Every structure is written in C-alpha cells, then in structure tokens.
Amino acid sequence: MHTTHHMIPVSGGDTVWAEDSGGDAPPVVLLHPGVGDSRIWDPLVERLAPHHRIIRYDVRGYGRSPAPTAPYTLLGDLLAVLDHFALDRVPLVGCSMGGGAALGLALLAPERVRSLVLVTPGVGGYPWPDEPEVDAEYERLMAARDIDGLTAFGLREWARSGADERAVEQLRSAATAWPGEEEHEEADPPVFDRLGEITVPAVVLLGELDRPPLVTCNEELAARLPDCRLVRMPGVDHLAPLRVPDLIAGTVLAHCG
C-alpha cells in the first residue's frame, strides 16, 4: 500500500485533506459522519486495503481539513474529491452525514455511484421529530463555543455503547468542526421523498443502540430503497465503524466486490 495525502481545492478557495491508499485494486470511497472525522475508518483500512484502493477525506473543518471560509455543500465537495482522483461509478461507504451525502450523489449523478453501504446514515428531508430540549441545549453550547460541553453532549447522544478514548477523540474533533459547519455549510437537496429513484444496490447497517429517531429513519430508508438489504447491529450506537469494524468491513467486501 503506497498511501498518499492530498490537499484538494474546493469551492470558495478552501481545501480538503484526502488520503489515497493507491494501487490498482477497485476503488472505494469512505465518507465520515458528522460526529467524527475520517480517522473513524482507521479500524477498517487494514481490513479493506488488500482488496480495494481506499479513498477517504475530511469534510471542511473536520480532522485534517482547514476550517471553511466560504459557503459549501457536502455534495459539491464530494464531487470535487471524485474528480480529483478521476473516479467514476465508484462504491460509496457513508456513515451518518457521509451516508446522507452518498444518497444525495446517487440521485444527483447516478452514473458516478456503483453501490452504497450506508452505516447509521442520516437522510436529508426525513421528517425528524421535534426535540426542543435537546435542540436548546445544543444551541446554548454552540452559542458559547463550549467545545468541552459539545463533546460531552455528543457522547451522551451518539456514543451510547460507551465513551472510550476513540469515541471521545471523534466527538471532540466533531465539536471543533460544528461552529464552522453551522456558519458556512449549505444544505443539499432533500432525498427522503426520492429514495425510490435510487436503483443501485444498497446495504443499510442500523445500530440498535442509536438514537430512536434515527433507528426509525434507517428502517424507513431501507424500506424505500428499491434494492436494499437491512442489517441490524445489536448493541451498536452511532459510531459503528469503531464498534464493529469486522462486520462493516465484511459487508463492504461482500457488497462492493
């Protein structure tokens, strides 16, 4: 594996950090969640690398990507990364926020997507229930730019399998990114009502210890996708790549060829 690192130009003069494992194996793109950065895929890389060329990157402000300075969309940056590596019709493996971006690309540019592995995915346009107390706490912490408080909030809501060192590292990285995201990210088009248009084969991996609204969302997502298999993960929260890397890597290898 001859890994290279890249700073890829994106809209507005910003850049995103990306990693390419290199080689001639079939490529697969890993898209991280909004509760972590691309290091969440570390436990999978060694399992996938013998079989795939692995591309992963950090969304603006996350991990090793500089904070955003201009408006951007997740879809626009995903396309910039695919174009940089000249990738067409590639399998996408997306966790949470990354799963939402993968679904969006499957609608926007279906010719660029070969298959989908969606790990505890978010779904734009889903009718999320109101949670005024949770929202108010988040907004209060965000207004104060309280990174410690945001990290603790994220661990409580998204790391119900346990706040071990890796989970804390991921949530702290995310909490650092959230203020810039809230200021500069623009929403991609909603996808929930158009899921029936996505025809590529998909797998949805649902964490049964995830937040209840997301569990319901993932169940409805799997039911609406025309060619989809639902995999339930007992005892797994929103940080599934950290919790069950063997299961996810095995799913990727089986589903992505």
Is-contact 251 244, C-beta < 8 A? no
Q: What is the pLDDT of residues 129-187, one digit of tens each?
A: 999 999 999 999 999 999 999 999 999 999 999 999 999 999 999 999 999 999 999 99
Please list, in sequence order, all residues whose beta carbon lies within 8 angstroms of the beta carbon of residue 51, skipping any fewer than 6 positions away.
25, 26, 253
Any long-range contacts for 9-13 (C-beta under 8 Å, 24+ apart)?
A: 9/80, 10/60, 10/72, 10/76, 10/77, 10/80, 11/70, 11/71, 11/72, 11/76, 11/77, 11/80, 12/68, 12/69, 12/70, 12/71, 12/72, 13/69, 13/70
Residue 172: what residue type? R
pLDDT tens digit sequence for 226-248: 999 999 999 999 999 999 999 99
Calculate mean pLDDT across residues 105-111: 97
Domain extents for the chain? 4-256
Q: Return the C-alpha torsion angle 95, 100, 115, 57, nearest 10.
A: -60
SS3 content of the chain, % helix, strand, coil (to 5): 45, 20, 35
For residues 197 and 226, give the distance between their C-alpha atoms in angstroms, rounded to a whole number: 8
At 49-63, the pLDDT tens digits run 999 999 999 999 999
Give the closest residue to 61 by CA, choosing from 28, 106, 97.
97
pLDDT, tens only, 47-101: 999 999 999 999 999 999 999 999 999 999 999 999 999 999 999 999 999 999 9
The predicted model scores a pTM of 0.97
Question: What is the CATH T-level fold of the domain 4-256, as seen in this structure?
Answer: Rossmann fold (3.40.50)
